[in-house]
Chains A and B, each alone.
Chain A
Amino acid sequence: MSKNRNVGIIGCGMSKFSSHREEVNQPEMIFEAVEEALADAGITMDDVECIVHGNMELFEMVHQPDMWHALGTGTRGKSGVRLTTGGTTGATLACAADNLVASGLHDVVMAVGFEKLQEGHTTGGISNMADPLWGRKLQAGALTGTTALQMIDKFGEERAKACAMKHRVIMDEHAALNEKAHRCFNLERSFITEMMDASPQLVGELRMIHMCSQSDGACVVIFASEAKVEEWKKKAAWVHDHETVHREESIIFTEEKTTHRVSAERIYARNGITNPREEIDVFEMYDPSSWWGLHWLGEFLLLDGDEHLQMVENDEICINGKFPVNPSGGVVASNPIGATALVRVAEAAMQVRGTAGKHQVPKPVHKALASGFGGTMWSTLMLLSDEKLNLEEAS
């Protein structure tokens, strides 16, 4: 890794996430997040040089959404880029914004992630992502029960199911602390089995209660060069690194390592992280379901055996635990898809900057990790820190 110059996140904003945003159109909803991010950074639109815009165009099926959305993003007269990479779109926006500032092309870049899922058909859109020559007939949206099947085989039915539900309840407890969260059910730990049994099966042992929501929402993150951060005297979450890994096939199971494990190995190796559970203070994970959240915890932390199950069983991933995961409530609580992975970056940055409010973890946050996930098993990781990168050392 060699970075030309340091890049810091200085402002984050989000609209309210909900399945009922009929009172606003797309640019109006985006404007809510833009306004909040600018206020958080203490700057105005005049200070922003470039807007990186992203959503999953298959969902709303609007051509050149960045043009329509210019009314809400404030792109008029500025540089603009539109990106879409499926579920990882938000993470790709953050990577691109970091690159644009690090390269020296721009000093201040605003990443805008958006989705209004109620205006399209989510499962239909995702099914159309499958290869049109051999996969479309079979794709059931983003739903699969294979992870549940594998975990039940590996860890026993009772323990695996209890762990997935415990993960779900912990995320719900976190969502209760986040005023922006779409869903919070106040689930109770003592009724885990009853809640699971009462929830309809979607695919295999993936049940409705395990699955993420379909949300409307927008997220904005402002990236600035080190010179601007210092000129404006801002508290920044410094971008240390990012990594993207994906596969050739849409969904094919082999015995190779998961893309999550490969991306984690690479980013830890480049940044001298030998024990992520000790060296990273909070993790915002793109967890589309409780089964994936549970399984992927082990993959991202490079764990073997049942350590990731133990981390859930002993409350280690709770907001006040040793390794907090998704103090925001995560993706099972809110999922405006094109914004979702950018929300992970925003939440990680808020934890580093100490601006997460009621869901701020009650310990110092020096390093935070954010993940994105999407089709063809894309895995994107971004590592943030309260300290600038030592550019000479890093190169």
Chain B
Amino acid sequence: MSEANTEQELIVSRQILSINQTFSTGPVMGRFLIELRDNKRIMALRCSANGRYLLPPREVDAMSVTEGDEWIEVGPGGTLREYDVVYYASPDPLTGETRDVPYVIGWVNLDGVEGIAPLWHLVEADDISKIKTGARVEAIFAEKRSGTMEDIKHFKLIEEEA
């Protein structure tokens, strides 16, 4: 070890992993994605045991520990509960591409949801400084849809009439 402490060159091993993945959606998330793709509809799953809305839908509501049992169409309009203006150029994990900044991600409580079940998505506006908590937004669907969350392109800020 004494030799290593003096002038030894530090050799490192550089490696890049690239991984293709295919995830099963299951019937519940699958139904949600089919509705996005085929009908441009956002469907929440309601749990009648406690009235909680699950969005994105999950098979079981963790609070009541019972299955969601009622599909309800919500949106496409909604209210912004929280938002993040991202300046840090992180890589998009789905493509590996570095994202353009700034961009805004928001938590949108869609019209028709009773209680709080915010959907997490991109929020766009001509002037992002106008994006505020409580702002009205609307889902914009992609022209070409393939049964993914990206079938909603983003939520667009609805500018209030002056």
What's the nearest-Cβ distance from chain A to residue B111, in Å? 18
Alpha-carbon distance A61/B19, docked complex (angstroms): 12
Alpha-carbon distance A130/B4, docked complex (angstroms): 41
Kindly identify which residue among A128, A153, A201, A253 contacts B81, using a CB–CB cutoff of 8 Å: A253
A127 touches B91 (CB 8 A): yes
Interface range for A: 35 or more
- Counting CB contacts under 8 A, is B7 at the interface? no
Considering only CB atoms, which chain B residue lies closest to A205 in the complex? Answer: B85
Kindly identify which residue among B10, B17, B33, B93 contacts A137, using a CB–CB cutoff of 8 Å: B93
Q: B10: which A residues are within 8 A, CB to CB?
A: 22-23
Q: A203: which B residues are within 8 A, CB to CB?
A: 84-88
Alpha-carbon distance A248/B68, docked complex (angstroms): 15
What's the nearest-Cβ distance from chain B to residue A63, in Å? 12
Interface of B is mostly: loop
What's the nearest-Cβ distance from chain A to residue B118, in Å? 6
What's the nearest-Cβ distance from chain B to residue A305, in Å? 21
- Counting CB contacts under 8 A, is B72 at the interface? no
Interface of A is mostly: loop
A-B contact count (CB 8 A): 89
B105 touches A136 (CB 8 A): no
A23, A132, A133 — which one has the most chain B CB atoms within 10 A of its CB? Answer: A133
Tell me whether A128 and B116 are in contact in the complex, defined as CB-CB below 8 angstroms, given that A140-B86, A140-B88 are known contacts.
no
B12 touches A252 (CB 8 A): no
- Counting CB contacts under 8 A, is A362 at the interface? no
What's the nearest-Cβ distance from chain A to residue B52, in Å? 10
Interface range for B: 35 or more
Q: B121: which A residues are within 8 A, CB to CB?
A: 138
Per-residue interface assignment for chain B, residues 110 to 135, with 1 indicating a CB less than 8 Å from any chain A CB and 0 otherwise = 00000011101110000000000100
Alpha-carbon distance A141/B91, docked complex (angstroms): 9
A1-47: which residues lie under 8 A (CB-CB) from chain B? 22-23
- Counting CB contacts under 8 A, is A255 at the interface? yes
Considering only CB atoms, which chain A residue lies closest to B105 in the complex? Answer: A138
B88 touches A146 (CB 8 A): no
Q: B56: which A residues are within 8 A, CB to CB?
A: 131, 133-134
- Counting CB contacts under 8 A, is A202 at the interface? yes
Q: A143: which B residues are within 8 A, CB to CB?
A: 84, 86, 88, 90
What's the nearest-Cβ distance from chain A to residue B66, in Å? 14
Alpha-carbon distance A130/B105, docked complex (angstroms): 14
B82 touches A149 (CB 8 A): yes
- Counting CB contacts under 8 A, is B158 at the interface? no
B87 touches A136 (CB 8 A): no
- Counting CB contacts under 8 A, is A364 at the interface? no
- Counting CB contacts under 8 A, is A85 at the interface? no
Alpha-carbon distance A127/B96, docked complex (angstroms): 11
- Counting CB contacts under 8 A, is A254 at the interface? yes
Per-residue interface assignment for chain A, residues 202 to 213, with 1 indicating a CB less than 8 Å from any chain B CB and 0 otherwise = 111000000000
B23 touches A127 (CB 8 A): no
Alpha-carbon distance A201/B82, docked complex (angstroms): 18
A125-166: which residues lie under 8 A (CB-CB) from chain B? 127-128, 130-141, 143-146, 149, 153
- Counting CB contacts under 8 A, is B149 at the interface? yes
Considering only CB atoms, which chain B residue lies closest to A253 in the complex? Answer: B82
Alpha-carbon distance A134/B54, docked complex (angstroms): 13
A134 touches B149 (CB 8 A): yes
Alpha-carbon distance A254/B56, docked complex (angstroms): 15
Residues of chain B at the chain A interface (Cβ within 8 Å) = 4, 10, 12, 17, 21, 23, 25, 29, 33, 56, 58, 62, 81-88, 90-94, 105, 107, 116-118, 120-122, 133, 149-150
What would 11 A/B residue contacts be, using CB atoms closer than 8 Å? A23-B10, A124-B91, A124-B93, A128-B93, A130-B93, A132-B21, A133-B23, A138-B105, A143-B84, A252-B118, A253-B118
Identify the 5 closest CB pairs spanning chains A and B, nearest first. A248-B62, A127-B93, A202-B88, A201-B87, A134-B56
Residues of chain A at the chain B interface (Cβ within 8 Å) = 22-23, 61, 121, 123-124, 127-128, 130-141, 143-146, 149, 153, 200-204, 248, 251-255
